[in-house]
Amino acid sequence: MSAAVAKPIVFHPGRSSGDLAARLSRAVAGDVLFDAGSRGRYATDASIYQIEPVGVLVPKSADDVRAAIAICGEQGVPVLARGAGSSQCGQTVGAALVIDHSKHLSRINGFDRDAMTVGVEPGVVLDRLNAWLKPHGLWFPVDVSTSAQATLGGMAGNNSCGSRSIAYGNMVHNVLAIDATLSDGTEARFGPEREMGAAPPRVGELLRGLRAIGAREHDEIERNVPKVLRRVGGYNIDVCCPQSERPYTADESVNYAHLLVGSEGTLAWMRELTLKLAPLPAHRTLGVVNFPTLYKAMENARHLVALRPSAVELVDRTMIDLARGNPAFRAVIDRALIGEPDAILLVEFIGDTREDPLRRLRDLVALMGDLGLPGSVVEMTDAGAQRALWEVRKAGLNIMMSLKGDGKPVSFIEDCAVPLPHLAEYVDRLTQVFARHGTRGTWYAHASVGTLHVRPILDMRRDGAAKMRAIAEEASAMVRQYKGAFSGEHGDGLVRSEWVGWQFGPRLSRAFEEIKDLFDPAGLMNPGKIVRGTRMDDASLFRFPPGHRTQPLETALDWSAWDVQNDAVTGALSPPGTGGDPAQGFGKAVEMCNNNGHCRKFDAGTMCPSYRATRDERHLTRGRANTLRLALSGRFGPDALASEPVRAALDLCVSCKGCRRECPTGVDMAKMKIEALHQRQRTHGLPFRDRLIAHLPRWAPWAARVPWLANLRDTLPGAAKLSETWLGFSAQRSLPAWRRDTFLRRASAEREGTAANAEVVLFVDTFTNYFDPENADAAIKVLDAAGYRVHVARADGADTDPSRPLCCGRTYLAAGLVDEAKAEARRVVDALLPHVERGAAIVGLEPSCLLSLRDEFLVMGLGEAAQRLSENAFLIEEFLAREHRAGRLELPLVALPQTRALLHPHCHQKAFDAVAPLQQVLALIPGLAVEMVEASCCGMAGSFGYDAAHYDVSVRMAELALLPAVRAAAPDTLIVADGTSCRHQIADLTRGAGARDAIHVVRVLERALGR
Ligand SMILES: Cc1cc2nc3c(=O)[nH]c(=O)nc-3n(C[C@H](O)[C@H](O)[C@H](O)COP(=O)(O)OP(=O)(O)OC[C@H]3O[C@@H](n4cnc5c(N)ncnc54)[C@H](O)[C@@H]3O)c2cc1C
Ligand code: SF4
Ligand code: SF4
């Protein structure tokens, strides 16, 4: 590959960085972030690269951006626009002032239902736009996989393409106009040529220059611009002489907005985009074609496309197996299979009438018969089944991305586009190339347009760079031979700008440079992308550059499961603890974050409540993982995890474990926070308030003896205010009330039950015992009624303090006091294991306590005993649902006076798949309709919401969805919440008129016993 490459652009901020920050702070209303933590967090995207920006601006308005562009222009500092930062090629990585639109520049303007157009600011997220459009029967159909986080500005910047591009085209086909600001401050609306007559003189001159280049290079454009739909590399110089299979405009007229689409922020800043909308498809069908080989599937893709489907997506054998290995997906994928296919193609048809897509599905079945594969199509007409299968395809990719070890699937030829007649041969030959380089790739995605995704597994800290280049060279030769596009979806960025010259030839490369210089003569808009790019394998720009070292760390928790290496060909992992991580596996656990940005999603699920409340990158799972990674690499000094940037990044993490389940690569920030807090308290000690909360299980027995005294804080006027001043407990909060009638003081250890059913051990946690003992009473009644012999868990007789109640140690974990938590966990294991050995189930009530037996207990070095306990520890609803499924549950339940229940599951229940059992046991109550609140964390999260410093954000979290749903519920609706903090949050924030109380599910069951 002989293309000319530039040296990396390095901006040395020196003194001027401080000047810049000061000037910006004076000129803008948004946040100016020049601290090391912020710069580190904005140094990466979903690529393999890392370059520290000069600083970050989170603008409040377009005026802020205008001011920043002007100041940067004067100081000669590059600017880099950024949305979600989910680019895979390093587009948003650079030594520049990064301008993050995603927080504030997210207004939807100028909607015209009849014309089917809408204006959006660049920070609007695609899913949000589509949710907004849905009631109007419209959508923006460029359905990228990252729709939950990708912004329209970023999508335009990258000329993004969705799964259904064969029906709707790429971004370039769906943008009508762009209001833009040039680096010299000139503003104009770029759109159809005929509408640009009144453009400012500077823009008029620019357009004349563009026309001259277009006319001069006409022949070269025809010769060298690939004639495929999926070509997103270089500039869209073919606006003037269309080359795409699908012209950018219906009448092939020139629209200058299309030149900005795909320009990766290198030409202008896009202030507002005018988008073309499409009607929401009224009906869909899905045909799943089963193929005996991947080659056959690829060979047939072109025939399937002739049926005019809206998508043809590939799922290969590896992904089928990954899905089948997951109990949640096995049934769904099995429904799509006929025998043991090597690959399946998901062929979707859409239509306005019910009959149209059905007819085309029948055509597909007939076609496969004609092609020699009769009986190979699974017909899916049910919308639910179709959705479930699309989810499987996404999840399979996620599992692949979660490969532990230093070898990772690397995106650099992930989106080459090849004309369909050559697809099979391309896949076959590239698979052989991978094998020759000692790696492999899993194939998936957009067979309809010849853009198959594949990421060979490479170790970018060792020989990955050399292999990347070698594989890229061979892949590019094939792409050239087949007249395809090297960049068919993800753009150029740092990994492929070097290849622009290769793809388009020297003349067009020079023309691209001229275009860049016409727009941005000073070269300040995202330099080094598309033109004058750096080498893809310049390791100094890698996230793990040569010399990268992880600082040694003696961890409190066991992270050895992450301290492994993988075999690039088989995927097999080395034994735990053999990965060579000086941080005993914690470093590699942190590095699992590949920056895909999925934690920025807002729609369903839990992840990430603090980001949802603040929209700050710092308060995002990704921001936290990056902060920890940088800390471990020494970026914040020798203190690493005890450093201030780490404290600040973790401060608003509510340890909801949402990321543990929802992050595609399984980043478990709640656990990481325990480790980081442990390291911090070792260096800095613990503030008194935190110690007080952590040791609550120790002093609780005393408080319960004199509850009137312990409750003075909420009964004595002025005491709450004092508690805020002295201890930091928010005066706006009531604290949980101490009780004398604690459960364990009253309960006898052994209860006989009413029948000879199985034995159950009730683990009563600290919170239930002292604050909500009626929940434990209810549990006894329910289990009694179902005929179980209930044993109340007590400390082992050999315990040093046998009279002290058992405790899971959660309050200690929340403070990072891991040794103390381990001591508590050991008591629990010692006390409960004998029951487990006898075959008894351990049943608990408080999700965060009981589920720690299945989570943190396993990384505390408690050995096989903890493992055995974890396999037999259940929330009461899990236990009852299991018994019901097994036909062993006889619970005589009657209808309640209430007919509706609103269910708010605790975040840890969601993280451990324990929501369905809740719904199942509530469904046992005759006539009770249950609705679930689609909310993230309630915002109380243990002691988080009681902290004066967290009060506001805690309320904001609750107000996002939970509280509006509670307030909207009819007064006689039961509000069900198993978490003690969730219940307290609901009660606390609905005090006064319209007060609502939530209750534990077991108390709902108790009421339905009707006794
Ligand atoms: C797991 C995964 C799956 C993906 N799937 C797809 C897919 O299906 N299809 C697809 O096309 N891509 C896909 N991508 C790539 C990426 O998500 C998309 O390109 C996405 O549209 C980028 O949006 P963003 O908001 O993250 O943009 P960013 O990454 O923040 O920015 C993208 C580019 O746009 C520029 N930009 C942003 N805002 C402006 C502005 N206001 N003015 C000027 N320039 C601006 C930036 O400078 C940058 O060059 C995927 C990425 C990942 C990690
Ligand atoms: S934390 Fe997980 S979801 Fe968030 S960017 Fe990292 S890998 Fe993606
Ligand atoms: S544990 Fe919850 S709050 Fe913390 S990073 Fe994960 S999703 Fe966000």
How far is Cα 313 from Cα 396, in angstroms, rounded to an integer? 13
What pLDDT band is residue 16 in, cutting at 50, 70 and 90?
low
Single-letter amino acid, residue 486:
F
Residue 485: CB atoms within 10 A of its CB come to 26
Q: Is 653 in the pocket of ligand 3 (CB under 6 A)?
A: yes
The predicted-structure confidence for 701-741, as pLDDT tens digits, reads as follows: 999 999 999 999 999 999 999 999 999 999 999 999 999 99
SS3 label, residue 337: coil
Q: Is 607 in the pocket of ligand 3 (CB under 6 A)?
A: yes
- How many whole angstroms from 960 Cα to the centroid of ligand 3? 16
Q: What is the pLDDT of residue 398?
A: 66
Residue 658: CB atoms within 10 A of its CB come to 26
Radius of gyration of the chain (CA): 30
Tell me how far CA of residue 693 lies from CA of 698, 808, 814, 945, in angstroms: 10, 14, 9, 13
Q: Is 610 in the pocket of ligand 3 (CB under 6 A)?
A: yes
- Among the bound ligands, name the one nearest to the CA of residue 671: 3
Closest CA to 97 of 55, 131, 34: 55
Place of tokens 């709707």: 168
Check residue 389 and report its DSSP letter: H
What pLDDT band is residue 9 in, cutting at 50, 70 and 90?
low
> Which pTM was predicted?
0.95
Tell me how far CA of residue 713 lies from CA of 19, 731, 735, 948, in angstroms: 49, 9, 8, 15
CB of 310 closer than 8 Å to CB of 167: yes
pLDDT for residue 394 is more than 90: no
Alpha carbon 127 to chain centroid distance?
Answer: 13
Which ranges of 900-1000 would DSSP assign to H, the alpha helix? Answer: 907-911, 915-922, 951-960, 962-968, 980-989
Tell me how far CA of residue 900 lies from CA of 582, 938, 962, in angstroms: 54, 21, 17
CA contacts within 13 A on the Cβ side of 568: 23
Contacts of residue 481, Cβ cutoff 8 Å, sequence gap at least 6: none
SS3 label, residue 815: helix
Strand partners, 626: none
- How many whole angstroms from 263 Cα to the centroid of ligand 1? 11
Closest CA to 974 of 913, 933, 916: 933
Q: Provide, rounded to the nearest whole percent, the portion of the chain with pLDDT above 90.
A: 89
CB of 195 closer than 8 Å to CB of 254: no
Q: Is 570 exposed, middle or buried (0-12, 13-18, 19+ CB in 10 A)?
A: exposed
How much is the mean pLDDT over the chain? 94
Tell me whether strands 117-120 and 138-139 are parallel, antiparallel or unpaired. Answer: unpaired
The atom of ligand 1 lying closest to the CA of 161 is 11
How far is Cα 478 from Cα 775, in angstroms, rounded to an integer? 67
Q: What is the pLDDT of residue 749?
A: 62
Q: Is 989 in the pocket of ligand 3 (CB under 6 A)?
A: no
**Percentage helix, strand, coil for the chain under 3-state DSSP, each rounded to 5:** 45, 15, 40
CA contacts within 13 A on the Cβ side of 644: 4
What sign for the dihedral angle of Cα 957, 958, 964, 966? positive
How far is Cα 412 from Cα 436, in angstroms, rounded to an integer? 18
Strand partners, 760: 790, 841
For residue 69, give both structure tokens.
């562009």
Q: Is 659 in the pocket of ligand 3 (CB under 6 A)?
A: yes
pLDDT for residue 802 is more than 90: no
What pLDDT band is residue 366 in, cutting at 50, 70 and 90?
very high
Take atom 2 of ligand 2 and give the residue whose Cα is closest. 663
Take atom 8 of ligand 3 and give the residue whose Cα is closest. 608
SS3 label, residue 314: strand
Best residue among 593, 607, 908, 910 to mutate for probing ligand 3's pocket (most ligand atoms within 8 Å of CB) is: 607
Q: What is the pLDDT of residue 14?
A: 44
pLDDT for residue 6 is more than 80: no
- How many whole angstroms from 438 Cα to the centroid of ligand 2? 28
Residue 361: its H or E element: helix 355-370
pLDDT for residue 13 is more than 80: no
Q: Is 198 exposed, middle or buried (0-12, 13-18, 19+ CB in 10 A)?
A: exposed
The predicted-structure confidence for 205-229, as pLDDT tens digits, reads as follows: 999 999 999 999 999 999 999 999 9
CB of 8 closer than 8 Å to CB of 538: yes
- Residues having CB within 6 Å of any atom of ligand 2: 593-599, 621-622, 625, 659, 663-665, 667
- Residues having CB within 6 Å of any atom of ligand 1: 45-46, 80-88, 91-92, 101, 122, 144-146, 150-151, 153-155, 157-158, 160-162, 264-265, 269-270, 489-490, 526, 596
The predicted-structure confidence for 294-329, as pLDDT tens digits, reads as follows: 999 999 999 999 999 999 999 999 889 888 877 778
Q: Provide, rounded to the nearest whole percent, the portion of the chain with pLDDT above 70.
A: 97
The predicted-structure confidence for 401-436, as pLDDT tens digits, reads as follows: 788 999 999 999 999 999 999 999 999 999 999 999
Peptide bond into 608 cis (omega under 30): yes
What pLDDT band is residue 7 in, cutting at 50, 70 and 90?
low
The predicted-structure confidence for 250-278, as pLDDT tens digits, reads as follows: 999 999 999 999 999 999 999 999 999 99
Alpha carbon 73 to chain centroid distance?
Answer: 35
Residue 384 phi, psi (nearest 5) = -60, -45
Angle, in degrees to the nearest 10, between helices 383-401 and 327-336: 120
Alpha carbon 240 to chain centroid distance?
Answer: 39
Tell me whether strands 408-409 and 998-999 are parallel, antiparallel or unpaired. Answer: unpaired
Mean pLDDT of 363-383: 97
What sign for the dihedral angle of Cα 366, 367, 371, 373? negative
Q: What is the pLDDT of residue 319?
A: 85
Strand partners, 379: 287
CB of 310 closer than 8 Å to CB of 281: yes
In b/e form, how buried is each residue of 448-470, taking b as 16+ CB within 10 angstroms? bbbbbbbbbbbbbbeebbebbbe
CB of 190 closer than 8 Å to CB of 180: yes
Q: What is the pLDDT of residue 969?
A: 96
- Among the bound ligands, name the one nearest to the CA of residue 611: 3
Q: What is the pLDDT of residue 555?
A: 97
Take atom 41 of ligand 1 and give the residue whose Cα is closest. 270
CB of 658 closer than 8 Å to CB of 911: yes
What pLDDT band is residue 536 in, cutting at 50, 70 and 90?
very high
DSSP 601-632: --SSS-S-HHHHHH--GGGSHHHHHHHHHHHH
CB of 847 closer than 8 Å to CB of 906: yes
CB of 743 closer than 8 Å to CB of 825: no
DSSP 62-75: HHHHHHHHHHHHHH
Mean pLDDT of 176-202: 97
SS3 label, residue 163: coil
For residue 450, give both structure tokens.
């010849």
The predicted-structure confidence for 82-126, as pLDDT tens digits, reads as follows: 999 999 999 999 999 999 999 999 999 999 999 999 999 999 999
